[in-house]
Amino acid sequence: MTFARLITVRSFSSSTERQLWRVIFYGSDSFSLKSLQILNENRLKRTDIPQVVDSIKVVCPKLKGLVSDYALKEDLPVCEWPYAVPANTFDVGVVVSFGHLIPASSIHACKYGMVNVHPSLLPRWRGAAPLVHTLLAGDTVSGISVITVAPKRFDTGKIVAQKTVSVPQGIHLVEHTSMMAKLGANLLLQCLQDLPVLLSAAQDQGSEGVTRASKISPSMGAVRWAQHTAEYIDRLYRAVGNFTTLTTSWHGCRVKLFNMVPPEQLATAKLEQLVKTENVKPGHCYYHAKRKILCIKCKEGWVAFSAITIKGHKRMTATDFSCGFLGKVPEHERYFSDENIVREAAVNT
């Protein structure tokens, strides 16, 4: 484990006299739920790490959802955002995937301020969707940052602790989120063991290596065959597939692409032997009869899908598309294009 921007390595205190923290927790989704669960398990003395949590109050954007449902089930007090933190009531605030700026008055009302669990190695991927952008950029190494919560700006606080992790090849967002949520929850709990010491040693992030992880929009799923490589489209599918659908256009009609074939499987499809690749341009569609998949030429390489929808039609298999659409036009017209798909994605998704 590494601390203070991966510079100083230290172990946690082994003192048997630990202060028990009164925690106010801010969270909204499955990523934050994991941190709340481990804090509550520690409060109930069900973790390997000695108890450091005395009490937890939960703040949610809405009183309905994963975090609030769990809190109510566990008899934890819950209140809806916005919530003004009273003075001398909490020792530390914990903010995990919350999406709202905490007022300075609430931060300062906690004895030790507030800390945030962020799923990237800050200052890389500041913003709302660090997990998505990690996959989209093809990062092979990522991590968790525990930082202080600064008023008025997201993800700019001092680094309290960081832990690196390798990004498994071919991982999808759901699995990546689950993995990072567990890692973040464990690092958070370990930080609470030595909170005052770690806070005193926290370091500024600095300005070098800052990247932005903007919110996901429907237009991000629009595939541009002449600009995107097969490798990029694979990353795009794995990164945004839970938020939006990959889209393209067939003769002016919007198309949604489903069930992408893993690259390692497509590599054995022998497309070089089946298609005269020197005669096709990006966007060219080829139905692989033996595999029953729709293959599309990219800027570099090929991608394939086993199901699609065309605007005005029900979801269909690649075979259905081949019989009903692809086979009814001459080969030189068997192309997907990206005309108008960005605009249509924003309107129709």
Q: Say if residues 282 and 334 touch (Cβ distance below 8 Å).
A: no
Check residue 13 and give its pLDDT: 46
Count: domains in the chain = 2
Q: Are residues 147 and 242 in the same domain?
A: no
Q: Are residues 284 and 244 in the same domain?
A: yes
**Dist. CA 74–CA 90, nearest whole Å:** 19
Q: Are residues 188 and 293 in the same domain?
A: no
Q: Say if residues 342 and 273 touch (Cβ distance below 8 Å).
A: no
Could you read off the pLDDT of 101-139 as tens digits, one per residue?
999 999 999 999 999 999 999 999 999 999 999 999 999
For residue 66 the two structure tokens come to 């994963």
Q: Say if residues 349 and 245 touch (Cβ distance below 8 Å).
A: yes
DSSP-assigned letter for residue 331: G
Residue that is last in its domain, among 213, 238, 270: 213
Could you read off the pLDDT of 131-166 as tens digits, one per residue?
999 999 999 999 999 999 999 999 999 999 999 999
Residue that is last in its domain, among 189, 213, 237: 213
**Domain range for residue 328?**
218-348
Check residue 272 and give its pLDDT: 85
Span of 69-78, 168-177, 234-243, 335-344 with lowest mean pLDDT: 335-344
Q: Are residues 48 and 89 in the same domain?
A: yes
For residue 346, pLDDT over 50 is answered with no
Check residue 17 and give its pLDDT: 57
Check residue 37 and give its pLDDT: 99
Q: Are residues 238 and 274 in the same domain?
A: yes
Could you read off the pLDDT of 282-304 as tens digits, one per residue?
999 999 999 999 999 999 999 99
**Dist. CA 95–CA 100, nearest whole Å:** 10
Identify the three-state secondary structure at position 237: helix
Check residue 340 and give its pLDDT: 58
Q: What is the mean pLDDT of the chain?
A: 92
Q: Are residues 205 and 59 in the same domain?
A: yes
Q: Are residues 171 and 135 in the same domain?
A: yes
Q: Which strands, in side-by-side order, build the sheet including 78-80?
A: 2-3, 159-166, 141-148, 114-118, 92-96, 21-27, 53-60, 78-80
Q: Are residues 196 and 239 in the same domain?
A: no
For residue 7, pLDDT over 70 is answered with no
What would the mean pLDDT of 243-272 be, rounded to a whole number?
95
Could you read off the pLDDT of 200-219 as tens digits, one per residue?
999 999 899 999 999 999 99
For residue 11, pLDDT over 50 is answered with no
Q: Are residues 39 and 181 in the same domain?
A: yes
CATH for 158:
3.40.50.170
Q: Are residues 237 and 189 in the same domain?
A: no
CATH for 288:
3.10.25.10
Q: Are residues 161 and 263 in the same domain?
A: no
Residue that is last in its domain, among 170, 195, 213: 213
Q: Are residues 115 and 238 in the same domain?
A: no
Check residue 278 and give its pLDDT: 74
For residue 228, pLDDT over 70 is answered with yes
